Amino acid sequence: MMKHLVKGMIVSTVLATIAAGHALADDPVRGGTLITVLGSNPRTLNGAVQSGIVTGYPTAQLFASPLRYDEDWTPQPYLAESWDVSDDGLTVTLNLVKNAVFHDGQPVTSADIAFSVEVIKANHPFKTMFAPVETVETPDEHTAVLKLSRPHPALMLAMSGQLMSILPRHIYGDGPIEAVKTHPRNNENVVGSGPFKLVEFKNGEHVILERFDDFFIEGRPYLDKIVMRIIPDIAARTIAYENGELHMGAFESNPQMVNRLKKVDGLEVTPEGYGAIGPLDWLAMNTQRGPLKDVRVRKAIAYAVDKNFIQKALMQGTAADSRTGIHPDSPFYFREVEIYDVDLEKANSLLDEAGFPMQDGKRFDLTIDFGWPGVKPQVEYVRAALKKIGIAVEVRASADFPTWAKRMGEMDFDMSWDTVFNWGDPVIGVHRTYVSDNVGKGVWSNTQGYANSRVDEILALAAVESDAEKRKALYQEFQTIIADELPVYHTNTLPYHTIYSGKVGNPPLGIWGTSTPIDMTYLKD
Amino acid sequence: MSNEVMTTVRARSPLAEAWDMFVRNHAAVAALIVLFLITIGAVAGPYLYPTDPFDMVWSPFSPPGEHGFLLGTDYLGRDLLAMIINGARVSLLIGLAAAMVSIFIGVTIGAVAGFYRGWVEEVLMRTTEFFQVLPTLLFSMVLVALFGASLAMITFAIGVVSWTAVARITRAEFLRIRELEFVIASRASGAGNAKLMFTVILPNAMPPIIVQSALMVGTAILFEAGLSFLGLTDPNVVSWGQIIGSNRQYILDASYTVTFPGLAIFITVLCISLIGDGLNDALNPKLRQR
């Protein structure tokens, strides 16, 4: 028996080698096991009830979504072979592919789309994604019609990547909608219609997926298996990449790791592919507390904090400049806003003007918080930089991430270092930081207490504007105001990098990182 | 002490005798000199070398000896020498204060347990054992995490997890001494419990406690370094452990940023251990006949 098995393996390897020999360099090859990595343990594999990049990678493989995006931000057919948005923007019709089936063999129907929208509305933390969707009509098995209360251009991106996992109603619909959040099959026996199905999820160790043979796109996926090892320690991951134990990993932002791996032969390291994730680093300032209420004080701080130092020295050249709340890779990014090149004289005169004269080398005290050890250098830098203009900054350490998150959520801080994601459309990830009706609603809400009625107005208009150019103009005005009023000082993008070995063909470098199906990725032999 | 000197007119003072014994241990004397220099550096250093340890004075990662920075600069371009000088103060202070906290707790509990015996001893010693089996680093991490990483809290957290050895030694000494004739004599001449405990027994129980305490200062410095290394530290003060902790991710690019504070900890703790060893020689009566 064993002998036959071994023989079989040899034969298939030989065949694969021959097949590969014939293939052109760029021709995808079937087969192989891709070893990849997750930086922490996913709380769930079901992206319909949970956000986050660690959930995003497995969920996008297990569950298909209606759309996918290419690297130029153009929507592409996926579960929906075509779609149509009515002229008034209030009706979005999805025409589903006919041959899509779930991993248990049941067909994917419009009823599953309707069910999934309900689940996401009830359980997903990003409430703005589907808030305007009032009902989903299902005129036939392969047509789903989303009825909106107002035009919602963000819907397109919200139907892609990890944001809209289509769940089988016959599996997850066995209880109340809210109960899907803790459904036992979110972590085991997961059933989706994505290119890979779950073999095993072992907490803290690995997630193993294998090819779904009845995937609705003919000939895909190319890989037979994906192993996602869970390695939280940065040094351990670095060594694993170096030793060739990992074929690929995404969302790596540690500058030391990135710069070290760039020098390793046979490894590719690229910051491409995170436009829709849109991770931004910034200095948050509580606009409702003490001296920071005064915009002149906030500007003085911006003039004293040297972005260039943060990007070049602290991030060691791995991070790009960012100037507004929208990620530079987004089509809505507007870079011609007010910038604050270091100017201590200007900073000092702004503070004098604001009524904080220098007395014995000091003007006033502020505190600064940080939520995780990786950004402690930034916080220490701000402290040193602001001392030069007479602001004595005390660094407050938080015992753990929840402590910091609570302080932020309750707006119990003066300044803090923060990292926030755009999550595709600005409506999903950008508005939350600046609209006044989202003040103090937990971490990553409008924790700065920023309120500007014009900004509220612009963002409300941009949320429903279907015309791309007009929308762009609205976001342009928004970004100009934000850069002038500085509820947060935007310093840099968080430098997410994808690391992959030369053996990996077609790594996911679109806009969603690995939070997208990797059915086109293959292993060169 | 002066009382004792008066009563032992003809014999040499026990203090002088102990000093003689100590001086015979050359390593301990050398360690004492080095530690003295370190202490001078910690106290006077910030005035002699007034660079603010938090000021960014040069570009990051300037190697030692270049551009006028003897030990180089760290990842923010701060002067490493200034950081180590200022860090000495905090590290030594925490070491001393934490040792004092644990001695206070340990001696009190050990003395009461050893003196009263019976159920008091049972309760106190079981409590001591409870603290003894707790993983000390974890327990102090929990304390610091719960109540915030201020210097006082860190000192308290270190002290509160390391008093058990002192308590046990004190109790053992009390158990032994309380049965000796001079104690019985004092009791017979009407000395109260408090007087017996603190003026009759305790002074005679001191030698092993002093040795243990000296060693504890070293342990406390290491402990603080460990906590700082894990990030449980007051970010507004510099300590040696904190320098290592915050520079450790740059260890491959600039190893000197962790080497120098590491050396400082190593030398200091070694000195304290050697001094403790010397004190042991000096105060242990069994060795005097040697």
Chain A, nearest residue to B146 by Cα: A399
A397 at the B interface (CB within 8 A)? yes
One-letter identity of residue B71: L
- pLDDT score of A182 more than 80: yes
Q: Please state whether A411 falls in left (phi above 0), alpha (psi between -120 and 50) or beta.
A: left
Rounded-to-integer distance, Cα A230 and Cα A67, Å: 28
What is the crossing angle of helices B240-247 and B202-229, to 10°? Answer: 20
Residue contact B75–A313, C-beta within 8 A: yes
Please report the number of interchain residue pairs, chain A to chain B, with beta-carbon separation below 8 angstroms.
Answer: 55
- pLDDT score of A18 more than 60: no
B2 at the A interface (CB within 8 A)? no
Q: Specify the pLDDT at position A298.
A: 94
- pLDDT score of A26 more than 80: no
- pLDDT score of A424 more than 70: yes
Rounded-to-integer distance, Cα A147 and Cα A150, Å: 9
Residue contact B235–A376, C-beta within 8 A: yes
Residue contact B76–A313, C-beta within 8 A: yes
Rounded-to-integer distance, Cα B109 and Cα B61, Å: 49
A5 at the B interface (CB within 8 A)? no
ipTM, 2 decimals?
Answer: 0.72
Chain A, nearest residue to B143 by Cα: A399
pLDDT by residue, tens only, chain B of 290 residues: 455 555 545 567 777 877 888 888 888 889 899 989 989 888 888 888 887 888 777 777 777 777 777 778 888 888 888 888 888 888 888 888 999 999 999 999 998 888 888 898 889 899 998 888 888 888 888 888 888 778 888 889 988 888 898 899 899 988 888 888 888 888 888 888 888 888 888 888 888 888 888 888 888 888 888 888 887 888 788 888 888 888 877 777 788 888 899 999 999 989 988 888 888 878 776 655 54
Average pLDDT for chain A: 89
Q: Specify the pLDDT at position A515.
A: 92
A314: chain B residues, CB-CB within 8 Å:
75-76
Q: Which of A234, A381, A395 lies closest to B235 in CB terms?
A: A395
Rounded-to-integer distance, Cα A120 and Cα B202, Å: 71
CA distances from B28 to A521, B93, B267, B283 (A): 67, 21, 13, 13
A254: chain B residues, CB-CB within 8 Å:
249
Average of pLDDT values for A252-266? 90
Choose among B239, B233, B228, B236: nearest CA to B264.
B239
Average of pLDDT values for A10-29? 52
Q: How far is A398 from chain B (nearest CA, A)?
A: 7
* Partners of residue A107 on adjacent β-strands: A101
Chain A, nearest residue to B59 by Cα: A313
Tell which A residues from 202 to 241 touch B, by Cβ distance under 8 Å: 234
Q: Which of B149, B231, B250 lies closest to A373 in CB terms?
A: B231
Q: Taking the CB of residue B15, how many other CB atoms lie within 10 A of it?
A: 12
Percent over 70 (pLDDT), chain A: 95
One-letter identity of residue A220: R
B233: chain A residues, CB-CB within 8 Å:
397
Is A24 exposed, middle or buried, given 0-12, 13-18 or 19+ CB atoms closer than 10 A? exposed
Q: Specify the pLDDT at position B10.
A: 56
B233 at the A interface (CB within 8 A)? yes
Percent over 90 (pLDDT), chain A: 65
A376: chain B residues, CB-CB within 8 Å:
231, 235, 246
A397: chain B residues, CB-CB within 8 Å:
148-149, 231-235
The two beta strands, A33-38 and A248-252, are parallel
- pLDDT score of A417 more than 80: yes
- pLDDT score of A164 more than 90: yes
pTM greater than 0.90 (yes/no): no
Residue contact A384–B149, C-beta within 8 A: no
B51: chain A residues, CB-CB within 8 Å:
none
- pLDDT score of A197 more than 90: yes
Confidence band of A347 (pLDDT split at 50, 70, 90): very high
Greater confidence (A10 vs B137) lies with B137
B193 at the A interface (CB within 8 A)? no
Residue contact B246–A380, C-beta within 8 A: yes
Residue contact A256–B252, C-beta within 8 A: yes
The two beta strands, A279-285 and A364-370, are unpaired
Q: Specify the pLDDT at position A235.
A: 85
* Partners of residue A196 on adjacent β-strands: A211
Copy the structure tokens of residue B104. 């206070």
Q: Which of B234, B246, B250 lies closest to A256 in CB terms?
A: B250
Q: How far is A313 from chain B (nearest CA, A)?
A: 7
B75: chain A residues, CB-CB within 8 Å:
313-314, 377
What is the crossing angle of helices B14-24 and B256-283, to 10°? Answer: 130
Reduced to 3 states (helix: H, G, I; strand: E, B; else coil), residue A95 is strand
Q: Which of A254, A385, A399 lies closest to B146 in CB terms?
A: A399
Q: Which of B56, B145, B246 lies closest to A376 in CB terms?
A: B246
Residue pLDDT, tens place only, A364-391: 999 999 988 888 889 989 998 999 899 9
Average of pLDDT values for A330-351? 92
- pLDDT score of A77 more than 50: yes
- pLDDT score of A104 more than 90: yes
C-alpha A183, offset from chain centre: 24
A150 at the B interface (CB within 8 A)? no
Greater confidence (B93 vs A400) lies with B93
Residue contact B235–A400, C-beta within 8 A: no
Q: Specify the pLDDT at position A402.
A: 80
- pLDDT score of A20 more than 50: no
The C-alpha angle with vertex B122 and arms to B117 and B126, in degrees rounded to 5, equals 140
A394: chain B residues, CB-CB within 8 Å:
236
- pLDDT score of A472 more than 60: yes
Q: How far is A400 from chain B (nearest CA, A)?
A: 7
Residue pLDDT, tens place only, A31-63: 899 999 999 898 899 999 988 889 999 999 999
Residue pLDDT, tens place only, A205-246: 999 999 999 999 999 999 999 999 999 888 899 999 999 999
Q: Which of A260, A385, A397 lies closest to B235 in CB terms?
A: A397
The CB-side HSE value for B180 (13 A sphere, CA atoms) comes to 12
A389 at the B interface (CB within 8 A)? no
Candidates B61, B249, B257: best to mutate against A (most CBs of A within 10 A) is: B249
A308 at the B interface (CB within 8 A)? no
B236 at the A interface (CB within 8 A)? yes
The C-alpha angle with vertex A228 and arms to A226 and A233, in degrees rounded to 5, equals 155
Q: How far is A238 from chain B (nearest CA, A)?
A: 12
Candidates B51, B52, B54, B142: best to mutate against A (most CBs of A within 10 A) is: B54
A257 at the B interface (CB within 8 A)? no
A377: chain B residues, CB-CB within 8 Å:
75-76, 246
B76: chain A residues, CB-CB within 8 Å:
313-314, 377, 380-381, 384
